[in-house]
Amino acid sequence: MNPIKKFFQTIADLWSLIVGLQITGKYFCQRQVTVHYPRKEIDPEINKTYRGHIELVASPKDPTKPKCISCLMCVSACPSGCITVVKSKPPKLSPEEEQAIKDAEARGEKVKKPSAPKEPAQWKYDFSLCSLCGTCIEACAVDSIQFSNELYVVGTSRNDFKYDLLARLKSQAEKRGPVAESKPEAETKEA
Amino acid sequence: MRNEKLDLVTGDFYTQNFQKGARENTLILNMGPQHPSTHGVLRIILELDGEYIVRAEPILGYLHRMHEKMAEVKTLVQYMPNMGRVDYGHPLAWNWAFAGAVERLGGIEVPERAEYLRVISCELNRITSHLLWWGAYILDLGAFTPIMYAFDDRERLLDILQIVTGSRLTYSSFRFGGVCADINDKFKELVNDFIPYMRTRLPMYKGLVTDNIILRKRVEEIGYFSPDMIRRYGATGPVARGSGLAYDVRRAEPYSVYNRFDWKVPVYEKGDAMARYLVRLDEIEQSLNIVEQAMASLPEGKHIVDKAPKYTWKAPKGEAYFAVEGGRGKVGVQVVSDGGKNPYKIKLRAPGFSNLSLFAEASQGTLLADAVAILGSLDLIIPEIDR
């Protein structure tokens, strides 16, 4: 390369640095793009479909109880085994009632023993194992599970992420208690 | 090596074997597994003569999670979340390769709208993958600011992808026979805003980084891969296209609806690190073109077939292979089923594994600092290489 060409090449090379600095200067004067979290939050519109940890869906009749029928489909569908559902036991009978059933059976009558309620006794969920895939939600027979939009979940120990979702549903229903109660009334009036 | 003073054999299996071939006047150095430029836990044993590399040997296995073995103890539907975790850069390509293989095996038809949604989300994900690489590569070469610009754009895209997939990094939104959710108006609005915005950002990237003389001096004529070498090692993706091989799975074996769109396969002949860099930046532009056309011609219909497989679904006996173009190259999944509850075997073909194997040969005789530039230009994602 001849010296004159080399000289102009060097000038062009140095110019590329100035172009870069111009861009940096331009963006330096513009508004900050960082969202300073505790003071500001991002647009809630885009978080509507965010898949946070799972939660139970309240039954339309009683907002403190889930739609869940303890079929355990979600437990067997979960690839990470993070759901534990314990079925309710049938109600305990008093000795007199038991005696009455035995007597009836001895007489050859068909007796209907009181069956266990369908709603679960316990619904435990370990968020630290969950991979948020949605297999349990797709497997649920009565649409009793959904993703919550909880974006800001923090904890200081592993046990903080072991949730009792029945208690969570109950406390949520109590929080917005009056609103949830007034809604069915309004619907019945319209109907 | 035997330490005479302590009367001990030092070094692990790999170091001891590597040392057998070493010259007497060279230095053996471990780069990684915690080296910042190895992007994870890749370990490279180097034999150095001064600052020049005589030999290099990549060692894998520090991030092995047995994804292939895990497939044997789960049903096909339950295995889907694993596909979001093989490659954190471009998980939707893995989603697609797995879903495609199972659909081919089970003969599941995918609705047209679902194919379009797959194209849109996969191409947006490709842009995030390339932006992540771009920022991290420039960071490896010593410039800090560009990653901030890259992450500004990437955050916008993650917001968009979050609407349709529900998560921000490890997506598992594809289902057998469609995708998990349909798009909403907010998604359309954000995508239509993003495409012209990103087109104004690309010239800015060019002015800020690509034309910068310091970058050009560091990446031009570094790490030359000949087309023959690419073929020998089976490298694909931007690495192959930077060496003049116009191989893109979307063009070579068209899948889904890619042949309905008008887009180019960017190819550079030079084969150096700069060529691979330029291929990736051009691919961002082409992905924007595809997304724009797909959004304009999005058909109505269902986003998933009516009888989508449940988690107890058993694939028929047989095997199927499906390959898609990921951000790093050809992503392939082979599913073998014996008709039982769980698949008999799933083989994952990771492009990064083939691309990394080029490094040992290409780095011979280069400076150590150039080796970092070569390693970065391969766009390695270690979890994908180890699987």
* Structural domain spans, chain A: 53-90+122-176
CA angle A65–A138–A45, rounded 5-degree value? 80
What pLDDT score was predicted for residue A116?
Answer: 78
With an 8 Å Cβ cutoff, the interface of chain B facing chain A consists of 74, 77-82, 84-85, 145, 149, 152, 155, 159, 162-164, 166-167, 170, 172, 180-181, 184, 186, 190, 204, 207-209, 211-214, 310-311
Tell whether ipTM is more than 0.85. Answer: no
Q: Is A50 on the interface with B (CB under 8 A)?
A: yes
Question: Is A65 or B3 the better-scoring residue by pLDDT?
Answer: A65
- Please indicate whether, in this complex, the C-beta atoms of A133 and B80 are within 8 angstroms of each other: yes
Give the model confidence (pLDDT) of A119-178 as tens digits.
888 888 998 888 888 888 888 888 889 888 888 888 899 888 888 888 888 888 888 765
Question: Where does A53-90+122-176 sit in CATH, by number?
Answer: 3.30.70.3270
Q: What domains does chain B contain, in order, with CATH numbers?
A: 2-59 (no CATH), 67-386 (1.10.645.10)
What pLDDT score was predicted for residue A103?
Answer: 83
What pLDDT score was predicted for residue B293?
Answer: 92
- Please indicate whether, in this complex, the C-beta atoms of B162 and A49 are within 8 angstroms of each other: yes
- Tens place of pLDDT per residue across chain B (387 aa): 566 777 777 778 788 777 777 777 888 888 878 776 667 788 888 888 889 999 898 888 888 888 989 988 889 988 988 988 888 889 999 999 999 999 999 888 889 999 999 999 999 999 999 999 999 999 888 888 889 899 999 998 998 998 888 888 888 889 898 898 888 888 899 999 999 999 999 999 988 888 888 888 888 888 889 999 999 998 998 999 999 888 989 888 888 888 889 999 999 988 889 999 999 999 999 999 999 999 999 888 888 888 888 888 888 899 999 999 988 889 999 999 998 888 999 999 999 899 988 988 888 889 988 888 898 888 888 888 887
**Rg of the Cα atoms in chain A:** 31
Tokens at residue B284, please? Answer: 């961002």
What pLDDT score was predicted for residue B117?
Answer: 92
pLDDT score of A190 more than 50: no
Which residue(s) pair with A190 in the sheet?
none
- Give the Cβ contact number of residue B241 at 10 Å: 25
What pLDDT score was predicted for residue B5?
Answer: 74
CA-CA-CA-CA dihedral for B199, B205, B206, B211, to nearest 10: 180
E strand or H helix at A124: strand A122-126
Which residues lie below 8 Å from residue A148, measured CB to CB, with a gap of 6+?
Answer: A52, A53, A54, A55
What pLDDT score was predicted for residue A182?
Answer: 46
What pLDDT score was predicted for residue B288?
Answer: 92
A191: confidence class by pLDDT, cuts 50, 70, 90: very low
Q: Which residues of chain A from 87 to 146 reach within 8 Å of chain B, CB to CB?
A: 131-135, 138-139
A180: confidence class by pLDDT, cuts 50, 70, 90: very low
Is residue B368 within 8 Å of B48, Cβ to Cβ? yes
Contact list, A27 vs chain B (CB under 8 Å): 149
* Cα–Cα nearest to B200, from A29, A184, A23: A23
